[in-house]
Amino acid sequence: MPPWLVNEPRPVWQTWYDSPNRDAAGTPCLRVSRGLPGGWFRFRYADGTEFLIDAAGSEIWSTWPTGSTIEDAAAYLLGPIFGFALRLRGTPCLHASAVRVRSAAVALMGPGGAGKSTMAAVLARLGAAVVTEDVLPLTDREGRWFVEPG
């Protein structure tokens, strides 16, 4: 965690979002808080994994519980955490996969568990190139939206 968090008095955290999904103990699966001073965001997952993101989306710090691995934390980092950091930087992101079909990207969107990743994998086996998985960053160029590879 950042030195200021360890060496400074405890910052004030205000809950910004609580997931409606709860674990067996009733704890939100995800709680996002906003920290004062500085406007940092804290993502706390029910499994004990935690991320801090500065207000500009330029610094990300993480810790995870004993028994978890870097791969466990990376599942959060490469999905919702990077998506949130990109949004803080002004890049809109969709929770989607995308494949290239001819000269265009086709976005596969839907709620969690709808099969976006599975469909992207099937299309990849049929020869389509996967452009991005889970986080689909968008760039506006002269009024047209482009998918950035991820």
Nearest by Cα to 109 from 121, 123, 94, 99: 94
Q: CA-to-CA distance for 150 and 133, rounded, in angstroms? A: 7
In angstroms, the first-to-last Cα distance of the chain is: 26
Instruction: Assign 18 a pLDDT band (cuts: 50, 70, 90).
Output: very high
Nearest by Cα to 5 from 46, 62, 45: 62
pLDDT at 149: 86
Instruction: Check whether 6 has a pLDDT greater than 90.
Output: no
Q: In 37-101, which ranges are E strands?
A: 40-45, 50-53, 60-63, 93-101
Phi/psi of residue 89, nearest 5 degrees:
-85, 0
Q: CA-to-CA distance for 52 and 15, rounded, in angstroms? A: 14
58 in Cβ contact with 49 (< 8 Å): no
pLDDT at 8: 65
pLDDT tens track for 31-62: 999 987 678 999 999 999 999 999 999 999 99
Instruction: Check whether 108 has a pLDDT greater than 90.
Output: yes
Cis bond upstream, residue 37 (ω within 30): yes
pLDDT tens track for 67-99: 999 999 998 998 899 999 999 999 999 989 999
Instruction: Assign 2 a pLDDT band (cuts: 50, 70, 90).
Output: confident
